[in-house]
Amino acid sequence: MSINRAEKITIWTASIAIISFILSRIFHAQLYYMIPDMIYLFFHSGVEFLSFAVSFTMLVLGWLFFLKSLSRQRLYTAALFSVVGLFDMLHALTIEGMPFFRFVGDTSLSELFDATGQLIGSVGLFFIFRRNDQPVSASKRLPAVTVAIGMGAALAALYFSLADLPPLYFMTGEPLHYVRSAVETIIVFAYMVTIGTIMYRNRNEQPEALLTIVQSLVFFLFSNLQFILGGSTHDTDMMIGHIYKLAGYYCLMKGIYFVTIEEPFKEQKRAESRINFLAYHDELTGLSNRRLLTERLNSEMQRAKQQSSRLAIFLLDIDRFKTINDALGHTFGDQMLQAVSQRLRHAVGKPDRLFRMGGDEFVVLLPEIGDTDQVTAQKHAESLMGLFDAPFVLGEAEYHVTISLGISFYPQDGESVDLLLKNADTAMYSAKVHRNEFSSYTPDMNMKAHDRLRLESDLRRALEQEQFMLTYQPLVNLQSGKVVGVEALVRWHHPQRGLLPPGEFIPLTEENGLILPLGEWVLRAACKQNKAWQDVGLPPMMMSVNLSMRQFRQHQLAERIRSILEQTGMEPRYLELEITESMTSDVEFATETLASLKKLGVQISIDDFGTGYSSLVYLKKFPIDKLKIDRSFVSELSENGSDAAIVTTITSMAKHLKLKVTAEGVENDEQIQFLRERNCEEAQGFYFTKPIPANLFEHWYRLRSQTA
């Protein structure tokens, strides 16, 4: 176990006190001599008045400074030594040779005040430090000090009155000897026990202030031992004892100073430093924040203007981060942000060039990039994008995330901080249309940004006016060729823009929360249509509906779906809910939610299987019925051996897990043949038909049934 500086000082101090005491006893005969009365009186008076000054200083320190951090040990030590200081002063004023010298029996007032002060100090310190410290209110200062000084003054007055009375029994002869021995024993024992108590109670962590107080107690202990062993009141034994006493007072005042002034001051400085740090840094990641970015960017722009140079800023954020938060919770989201910031910090290198704007947005500053700014910026952007090729390992799982990045340049894209950031943000949203891309700002992007805002506004109106419609793509059994189900796909019939595919508006609904009411509308409309087809004579078939991440995390999802099924009259066994692999990352929540959905009697499938993260250990435990192979693996089956191997592996695995398999994006006979040979049960894609409205699907279905 390592020893800190304060512990080393305490060990050395105790060693010096012990060694010096031993040496003084070994060489006692050589060192011992009587001190002339006047010299001793001068020396003794000086020592006692210094003791009083130290006691008064401790009272002031405990009374005036850092009242918010006032503690029980601070307050009671100050009150205790206000009494000890009083008795030290009275001891000096009543010693032989001083005006107030008086005898009390076979002793003197001076000895009474000295012994009482030592007794009160030693026993008082034991009671103060035998318990853990705790804060006390500043209002307790006056009662504590008043009571202490009042009791000390009353006892001093009693001693003065004894000088004018006949001597008491225990103030003379042999009884006085026993009383003196008992008091000396209690004082020494109290110091020893207090030292042991402090060291034991603070054995794991030993604050510097308490160690300094231990040093003072060691000197007080040897001071009293020296007084006990002394033969006279005017010899070198007494002088050495008073030197020990002064050393003890010095260490005690130093310890009280640490507790009263230095430690609160350091704590205040640490708090101020923390506040100053948080004013310019992000608390979660430790990166510089937007305020520091503004100051730094202003400074770099001024320098670039003076040197006729250029600079660039990269504004990036994590794709689908809100979905990550919704799926896995904000605590996991914070962990992801910390991991991303750490990776960016290592890549950027210089801490004054990386900033967190807030949320999942980060800024990288590239000053003085030179004339070939586009090429340099592009290389840096590609390097940053490449950072996210490797997965993030959080807990026991790996997570793949991508970023979108926007670039703006000074001075051509803006000559102010706000404009540069705004244009970089516009460029980032342009890149986010396709995700995992970067884009440099161009003026026409503002039009696209405004168009995006108008589209978001139109979305709210579209929900109110039910401008959405569903198209249906059949799911065909590859062995029998029969249509066994359909997948409902939403389209937006925009009044001015015409029919919009999901890719143009679904990301917006996920960002602004409209995905919840839209998803509920899709589910209700799909169930209603399936029941309508059954009512007009079409055989019952499976209706497949996608659930968004936010829907999957929605409160009482199973109850909402149950209500829709009851309202539309569709049997639960004909509803298939499609989720993605990312929704199952939170295994406990996914298991509970899927179990509640299965109780309804609906079917569960995992869509886009193979493109996300799935633990096979948990996959076999989830109550799912089907895996849907993503179209990216099916589209190049004949050209890419890896895709063929992946599809073969998925179908084989699903067979062993007793799950159905549907292949998406089927477009030609070669793909159909390959999938049949691999025992893939179902397929959907343009090979059969594009997604079509309900009336056309009914016509297509009847025509196919007639020609089959």
pTM equals 0.53
Mean pLDDT of 307-320: 88
Number of C-beta neighbours around residue 381 at 10 A? 23
pLDDT beyond 70 at 512: yes
- Bridge partners of residue 207, in order along the sequence: none
What pLDDT, in 10s, does the model give residues 18-31? Answer: 898 888 888 877 87
Q: Which of 253-262, 391-400, 440-449, 455-464 shows the lowest per-residue confidence on average (mean pLDDT)? A: 253-262
Q: State residue 582's pLDDT score.
A: 74
**Percent of the chain with pLDDT strictly greater than 70:** 94
Write the CA distances from 60 to 57, 141, 684, integer angstroms. Answer: 5, 11, 87
Cβ(671)–Cβ(691) below 8 Å: no
Q: What is the pLDDT of residues 159-199, one digit of tens each?
A: 888 887 887 777 788 888 888 889 989 999 998 998 888 88
434 pLDDT above the threshold of 80: no
- Quick one: 140 exposed, middle or buried, by C-beta within 10 A (0-12, 13-18, 19+)? middle
- Residue 120 pLDDT > 80: yes
Confidence of residue 242 (pLDDT cuts 50, 70, 90): confident
pLDDT at 231: 65
- The pLDDT, as a whole number, for residue 399 is 81
Distances (CA, A) of 461 to 153, 244, 447, 465, 492: 86, 88, 21, 6, 12
Region of poorest pLDDT, from 129-133, 323-327, 534-538: 323-327
- Give yes or no for residue 698 having a pLDDT over 80: yes
What pLDDT is attached to residue 154? 93
DSSP, res 382: H
Count CB-CB contacts under 10 A for residue 507: 17
CA dist 625 to 480, 556, 565, Å? 20, 22, 20
What is the tens place of the pLDDT at every residue in 46-78? Answer: 888 888 887 887 777 777 766 666 778 878 888
pLDDT at 694: 92
Contact 590, 563 (CB under 8 A): no
pLDDT bucket at 618, cuts 50 / 70 / 90: low
Q: Give residue 617's pLDDT.
A: 58
pLDDT value of residue 1: 37
Per-residue pLDDT, 70 = 77
Q: Where are the beta strands (DSSP E) in 367-506?
A: 392-394, 397-399, 403-410, 438-440, 468-477, 483-494, 498-500
Confidence of residue 640 (pLDDT cuts 50, 70, 90): low
| 203 touches 197 (CB < 8 A) | no
Cis peptide before 693 (omega within 30 of 0): no
- Closest by CA to 116, choosing from 150, 147, 91, is 91
Instruction: Identify the sign of the CA torsion 529, 535, 537, 542.
Output: positive
Do residues 448 and 665 lie in contact, with contact meaning Cβ atoms separated by under 8 Å?
A: no
Mean pLDDT of 605-628: 74
Give the alpha-carbon dihedral of 103, 107, 111, 117, to 10 degrees.
Answer: -100
Question: For 194-205, what is each residue's pLDDT tens digit?
Answer: 888 888 877 777
**pLDDT of 206 over the 90 cut:** no
Q: What is the pLDDT of residues 314-367, one digit of tens each?
A: 999 998 887 777 767 788 889 999 999 999 988 888 888 899 988 899 999 988
User: Closest by alpha carbon to 217, among 182, 190, 238, 184?
Assistant: 190
Mean of per-residue pLDDT scores for the chain: 84
Type of residue found at 219: F
